[in-house]
Amino acid sequence: MEIYVLVKQVPDPEAIVKVKSDSELEIENKYFTNFFDEIAIEAGLKLREKFGGKVTVLTVDNKKVDALRRGIAMGADDAIQITDPALEGSDQFAIAKALATYLNLKDKPFDLIFAGRQAMDDDAGMVGPAVAELLGIPYVNVITGLEVDDPKKEVKVIREVDGGKEILSCSLPALFTCQKGLNNPRIPQVMNVMKAMKAQIKKVDLAALGLNAEEVGGKAAKIKVQKYLPPPKRPPVKMIKEDFPENVKTLVKLLREEAKII
Amino acid sequence: MALDFNFTEEQEFFRQMVRDAVNRLIMPKVKELDEKEEFPWDLWKEFAALGYLGLRHDEKYGGMGTDTITQMIFYEELARGSCGFSMSATMQILMGTYFIARFGNENIKQKILVPAIKGEKIGTICFTEDQSGSDLAGTRTLATKVDGGWKINGRKQWITNGPIADFATVMATIDPKLGLKGLNFYLVERKTENRDGFVSGQRLHKLGSRCSVTGELVMDNAFIPDENFLGEEIGKGVQYAGEILNEVRVMTGMNALSIAKEAMEDARQYANNRIAFGNPISRYQLIREKFAKFWAWYEASRTYLYKCAWMIQNNIPCIHDCMLAKYHSTEMCMYAVEEVMRIYGGNAFCSEYPPQRFWRDAKFLLYGGGTHEVLCDYLGRIYCKE
Ligand SMILES: Cc1cc2nc3c(=O)[nH]c(=O)nc-3n(C[C@H](O)[C@H](O)[C@H](O)COP(=O)(O)OP(=O)(O)OC[C@H]3O[C@@H](n4cnc5c(N)ncnc54)[C@H](O)[C@@H]3O)c2cc1C
Ligand SMILES: Cc1cc2nc3c(=O)[nH]c(=O)nc-3n(C[C@H](O)[C@H](O)[C@H](O)COP(=O)(O)OP(=O)(O)OC[C@H]3O[C@@H](n4cnc5c(N)ncnc54)[C@H](O)[C@@H]3O)c2cc1C
């Protein structure tokens, strides 16, 4: 079974993020692998353990390859970094284009593609579905259950819907985006961690993909960031100096009229 | 460019992986581990399965054979969660197996080291007795040569993993009158129906680091075969002990770093949210000073410890550096856990909040690898070229 997993390194929720300019963020150098992507990797590994084959992790990133290394540490066979200066400023669609182009180039056809349900930084949830659209294969988002019938090339997936579950099936090849509950991503063994530390990451640039610089990057972006705004600062504490019971009356009044929370 | 303070991309990745394992396996259980005061077998098995117990051992025996800096990164990340767990694990990785890996014959390595790396057999090291701690020359545990082996007699106390250990590296004297020159290491296994060895004595209840179990080991005329003598020559035990101390000290320093950092990160959050007199207390200069001091000492400690790790790795003599760095980082840690007790106000004094745990846990750092009085006495003497 030929399995690909789309992965991304995202800022740690604890990283300090500052608005540098209207269209640029300054992010503290603290990253981790998007947790939904770990679930996707685990899904791939489980299938490989059952049916054999190969799991390849794939990222579009000019700098960070730790998501790929984590993939290898978890047990993936291969890691590919799509990187090119012209990819800077790409939107999700351009990222998907690079990924789909790469997947189309493969002489050995893929059976399954997994991605996280969304990246925990931009929360867009677009790359997975866009790749499937570009490849013209079926996809189901946010799955929490998966059953593959390899000989029949059929898949049954589960996803949570309001008040219940939805069971869907489709043929292979297909793409699924993974949600918490699908599995429990394994903690890498140190032996694989060491392997991942030394692993050579294969790099693929736009030329290798046969893409032009104009098709990706900031200029081609269909979505443009207009402006980043920092969250409002914590307002100063207001001390109510009156005595009881006036202070309670004032507090209730302020909660109702100023804070508008009661 | 001879001076380079950066970790490599690979080392950063390794750190991230260890951190993650600690976050997932240990962090959620930290409070429970402290309160239960029991050895966490389930966690031990889960952790052992990841393979870190073989970090510094030969690949031939199931180890990873990593370099010193990688090991120190591991120790720094490990103690962030539970000090007690870290204590048991580092005993297994370093002191508890060091002499077996170094002096054990193939039979012993297969019998002891291989299962130890898998976490299936638990090890420890025994120096301390009721009359001898800092002063090894006071060791009374006696090793008597007999046909085909040795008879060991004595009681060891304060033994990490003691109540659960399967094997121990025991320091014993061939004659108390010889002082330091009479000391050697012997491998002693737990007594069973068909094997002589040690039995567990009293278990101690500790102030902190409570999930590592600690207690007495008693050897009553315990016979061990000749191959269990760990060393090349008789009378060199103290020299051998000295040869592991650099690593032990830097490892202890790494524990100090991570306990201090964890305590302070927690306190920072508290100080930014705790309001007194209309402001978060982190706005008050007297509180800020605590963070500033910690920060300065922490960075200095960390840089020095990694320098020591680098020196060990490159076989550069560094015995004084390792003492200094261990001393500095531990005192830094004592400062941090003490100040966190103050930053938290009265809340620090109850078990619902973490400062008291950091404070209790950190105290063990003061004793291993030489008490600070002993270290300072020695270092001062060296400095004065007395
Ligand atoms: C949690 C924990 C786990 C431990 N695990 C182990 C273990 O697994 N195996 C093991 O063998 N031991 C273990 N120990 C024991 C530890 O190694 C000893 O506590 C340590 O060696 C100090 O010895 P002591 O406690 O007997 O103190 P002592 O040597 O009795 O010292 C008492 C005081 O006198 C001071 N002092 C001693 N000599 C001098 C001097 N020359 N000049 C100035 N001051 C001096 C000391 O600094 C100290 O303040 C453990 C201890 C703890 C707390
Ligand atoms: C064992 C125990 C028993 C107690 N019993 C009682 C009792 O019976 N009845 C009772 O009413 N209370 C009791 N207390 C609570 C005790 O009075 C409070 O802990 C004490 O008043 C400090 O307040 P706090 O803990 O809220 O700390 P906070 O006021 O929140 O202080 C937190 C930190 O900020 C610092 N800080 C605060 N303001 C400033 C400033 N302006 N400048 C610089 N630093 C500042 C403090 O020094 C401290 O380091 C008890 C506490 C303990 C530990």
Residue range A151-160: mean pLDDT, rounded: 93
Per-residue confidence (pLDDT) for residue A234, from 0 to 100: 76
Pick B14's closest partner by Cβ from A189, A197, A236: A197
B207 and B250 Cβ atoms separated by less than 8 Å: no
For B247-256, the pLDDT digits (tens) are 999 999 999 9
> B9-118 sits in which CATH class?
mainly alpha
How confident is the model at residue B383, as a pLDDT? 96
Angle between helical axes of B96-103 and B237-273 (0-180°, round to 10)? 150
Instruction: Output the DSSP codes for A128-190.
Output: HHHHHHHHT--EEEEESEEEEETTTTEEEEEEEETTEEEEEEEESSEEEEE-TTS--PPPPPH
Give the separation between CA B297 and CA B271, rounded to whole angstroms.
20
Q: Which of A121-125, B59-63, B90-94, B182-186 has the weakest average pLDDT?
A: A121-125
Q: What is the mean pLDDT of chain A?
A: 93
pLDDT range class, residue B1, cuts 50, 70, 90: low
When pLDDT is cut at 50, 70 and 90, the band that residue A53 belongs to is very high
What is chain A's length?
Answer: 262
Nearest CA in chain B to A31: B16
- Is the confidence at residue A160, as pLDDT, over 80? yes
Atom of ligand 1 nearest to the CA of B127: 11
* CB atoms closer than 10 angstroms to residue B68: 20
Mean pLDDT of B332-349: 98
Pocket perturbation via mutation, ligand 2, pick of B272, B281, B349 by most ligand atoms within 8 A of CB = B281
Nearest-by-Cβ selection for A66 from B11, B16, B54? B16
Three-state SS annotation for B141-205 = CEEEEECCEEEEEEEEEEEECHHHCCEEEEEEECCHHHHHHHEEEEEEEECECCECCEEEEEEEC
CATH 1.10.540.10 maps onto chain B at: 9-118
CB contact under 8 A, B17 and A193: yes
User: In the predicted model, what is the mean pLDDT of residues B203-215?
Assistant: 96
Q: Write the CA distances from A177 to A80, A203, B167, integer angstroms.
A: 19, 24, 49
Quote the CA–CA distance of B292 and B308 in Å, as a whole number.
Answer: 24
CB nearest B64 (choices: A190, A196, A237): A190
Confidence of residue B123 (pLDDT cuts 50, 70, 90): very high
Mean confidence (pLDDT) of chain B: 96
ipTM surpasses cut 0.95? no
Q: What is the mean pLDDT of residues B163-171?
A: 98
Tell me the CATH architecture of domain B238-383: Up-down Bundle (1.20)
Predicted confidence (pLDDT) at residue A236 exceeds the cutoff of 80:
no
Fold of A2-220: Rossmann fold (3.40.50)
Cβ neighbours of B52 in A, within 8 Å: 190
Contact: A189, B50; criterion CB under 8 Å: yes
pLDDT above 90 coverage of chain B, percent: 97
Q: Using one digit for the tens of pLDDT, what is the confidence trace for A21-40?
A: 988 899 998 899 999 999 99
* Whole-number pLDDT of residue B275: 95
The pLDDT of A81-93, averaged and rounded, is 94
Look at ligand 1, atom 40, and give the residue with the nearest C-alpha.
B374
Question: Which among B9, B13, B60, B78 is the top mutation candidate for probing chain A, defined by the most A β-carbons within 10 Å of its own β-carbon?
Answer: B13
Q: Give nearest CA residue, ligand 2 atom 3.
A: B346
Q: Which residue has the tokens 């992507």?
A: A37
Which residues are CB-neighbours of A118 under 8 A, at least 6 positions away?
Answer: A36, A124, A125, A177
Residues B338-352: b if buried by 16+ CB within 10 A, e if exposed? ebbbebbeeebeeee
- Which protein residue's CA is at the shortest distance from atom 35 of ligand 1? B373
Domain B123-235, classified CATH 2.40.110.10, yes or no? yes
The tokens describing A22, both together, are 């209207």
Tens of pLDDT, residues B66-122 = 999 999 999 999 999 899 999 999 999 999 999 999 999 999 999 999 999 999 999
| Domain residue ranges in chain A | 2-220, 232-262
Q: State the Cα–Cα distance between residues B164 and B112, nearest whole angstrom.
A: 15
pLDDT at A75: 97
Q: What one-character-per-residue DSSP string does B313-371 give?
A: HTT---HHHHHHHHHHHHHHHHHHHHHHHHHTGGGGGSTTSSHHHHHHHHGGGGTTTS-
**Mean pLDDT confidence for B7-25:** 94
| Number of Cβ atoms within 10 Å of the Cβ of B70 | 23
Rounded Cα distance between B285 and B288, Å, is 5
Q: Which residues of B touch A188 (CB under 8 A)?
A: 17, 21, 50
pLDDT digits (tens, 9 = 90+) for A127-149: 999 999 999 999 999 999 999 99
Where along chain B do the CATH 1.20.140.10 domains lie? 238-383
Inspect the interface and report whether the beta carbons of A196 and B25 lie closer than 8 Å. no
The predicted structure's pLDDT at residue A76: 97
**Which atom of ligand 1 lies closest to the CA of B91?**
8
Q: What pLDDT shows up at residue A261?
A: 87
- How far is residue B262's CA from residue B266's CA, in Å, rounded to a whole number? 6
Mean pLDDT, rounded, for A167-175: 95
CA distance B128 to B140: 10
The candidate with the shortest Cα–Cα distance to B249, out of B319, B160, B337, B170, is: B319
What is the band of A122 on the pLDDT scale with cuts at 50, 70, 90?
A: confident
Q: Which of B272, B287, B339, B340 to mutate to test the pocket of ligand 2 (most atoms within 8 A of CB)?
A: B287
